[in-house]
Amino acid sequence: MALESILVLALAFYMLVLGITHDKEWLPYISVTAFAFVGSAALGALSRGIRDGKRWATSPAILANLIALGVAKYQFEAGLYWLAIPIVLLALAIIWNTLKIIKSSAE
């Protein structure tokens, strides 16, 4: 989850720079950039929660990665395989490991 947080933060900075350097409408860039910063912070909080063994973090972590799988579907449909495959692999790895953590904490 920490890796996802860092990647989304990098995307937020990329969108911020793109919005500044291109002569386009600011509202879409501001909203997407704000959403990316908030998402990065949320993923970071989930990462810390899972690391510390907090049960509240497991369900949102799984949900966030199921959403990432949905995003990857659209990347596949757009032919962006170089982007979709890493998203799928990372999301599945995090879902798998989160489920293993849930199982081990229940025992």
Predicted confidence band of residue 81 (pLDDT cuts 50, 70, 90): very high
Predicted confidence band of residue 73 (pLDDT cuts 50, 70, 90): very high
Look at the chain and count its residues: 107
Is pLDDT of 64 > 90?
A: yes
pLDDT of residue 102: 87
Q: 7: closest CA among 32, 34, 37? A: 37
pLDDT tens by residue, 31-63: 889 999 999 999 999 999 998 988 899 999 999
pLDDT tens by residue, 10-34: 988 988 888 788 767 777 788 889 9
CA distance 72 to 79: 10
What is the domain range of residue 58?
A: 2-106
Spatial contact of 15 and 34, defined as CB atoms under 8 Å apart: no
pLDDT of residue 38: 95
Q: Give the total number of structural domains in the chain.
A: 1
